[in-house]
Amino acid sequence: MSIADAQGVPAGPRHGAISRKTFLRAATGAVLTGTSALASAPAAQGAQTARSRAGALRVRKVADLTGPGITTRFRMEATDLGVPVRTPDGRLLFVFGDTFEHARVGGGWWRSPVALYGEADPLTKHVRWTGAVGGEHAQQLWAYEHDNPQFSTVLPSDVITIGGTIYLHVMVNKTYPNVVWTEIWRSDDSGATWTHTGAKFPADLHGGLFQLLTWGLGDDGYVYVYSTGNQRDKPIILHRVPRGRITDPGAYEPWGRRDGAWGWGNPPTPVLEGGFGELCLRPLGGKWVLTWFNQGDYRIDGIIMDHPTSNLHTARRETLIHGGAWGHEDDTHVAQLYGGYIIPGSTLQDLHLSVSQWNNDGKVNWPYHVMQFRVQGFGG
């Protein structure tokens, strides 16, 4: 995510010793040579199956959401992630990761997280910005110094509105992909100001599978939480927490298999294997939808399920957007993509996603931006 994202590659020496080229090859196969990342036979077969199932999907890019001339007035031409939520007062709020004033990674005035307010066109659903948290220019949501002795940056994981409060889960990172802890912040004024809730989770909780998370509020009073590690090479586990106790780390109840049966309160068992990046779980149209960056197969996938406890191995699964090579992009193939968050107002038949992209060639470091994509027909 952000400086240390877009295939998990640090942007400069101060952000860690991982080789950019080495990590990129590990993350996206042969992207550097301009070929598909789906190199191995099993992965290629899986991708072909996904493509055949997704034949009825209609996917197109709606617009760039950030970049020169779009977010210049907020002094944030370079940014990523854009995790969206509906605020208590009815607006759209998008929370972004590492953000810079000029159109390149490292392009001055480093902030994270920042947030913009927006509204969607009633007909096209194209999101346009109406303002920034902090005033005329997008300000960091709370004060801290980047690259301090404890950590490098703070990255958003997911955001949720419960009643009159917005909750934001963030990962505190010290050189990618090293999470030192995670925590929850809250806003009681639709995102204008933020305070720490006191909720803090160790990075090694559940073997490191409770770092990067997504959550959705059910109609049964529980918030359901899928989580994984921040390294894009780990499976997903599931928890639930009463909506009124989301800031109580002790109230998160794991879902696991023991003695041949699944149940709440058992030690957490992976509910889906794979290499997972950014996650987005939302109740939608009487179902639940999970979208994520599929690291191993270099694409953004989606699952439709009846409930978060459903068998994710047998639930309906589609590839929504494929990874691609620079110079060979189209509406369904995006070079060095990641993210894939569901924009409020989406339906199963008309799903809108915020998708990130970063050309992390050290000589370029652009584009590094967020785009809006429309997926029609996902609901069948």
**What is the DSSP secondary-structure string of 58-100?**
EEEEEEE-SSTTTTGGGT-SB--EEEEEE-TTS-EEEEESSBB
β 276-284/287-294 pair status: antiparallel
329-367: string of b/e by CB count within 10 Å (b at 16+)?
beebbbbbbbbbbbbbebebeebbbbbbbbbbeeeebbb
Residue 314's domain spans which residues? 2-376
Instruction: Provide the CATH number for the domain around residue 135.
Output: 2.115.10.20
- Asked, as a colleague might, if the bond just before 367 is cis with ω within 30 of 0, I would say yes
Measured distance CA(292)–CA(297) in Å, rounded: 12
pTM (predicted TM-score): 0.89
DSSP-based three-state secondary structure for 103: coil
pLDDT tens digits in sequence order for the chain, 380 residues long: 444 343 333 233 222 333 323 333 334 433 333 333 322 333 333 433 333 344 589 999 999 999 999 999 999 999 999 999 999 999 999 999 999 999 999 999 999 999 999 999 999 999 999 999 999 999 999 999 999 999 999 999 999 999 999 999 999 999 878 999 999 999 999 999 999 999 999 999 999 999 999 999 999 999 999 999 999 999 999 999 999 999 999 999 999 999 999 999 999 999 999 999 999 999 999 999 999 999 999 999 999 999 999 999 999 999 999 999 999 999 999 999 999 999 999 999 999 999 999 999 888 899 999 999 999 999 97
Domain count across the chain: 1
- What is the radius of gyration, based on Cα positions, of the chain? 19
Chain position carrying tokens 């920042």: 114
Q: How many residues in total does the chain contain?
A: 380
CB-count burial class (<10 Å; 0-12, 13-18, 19+) for 296? buried
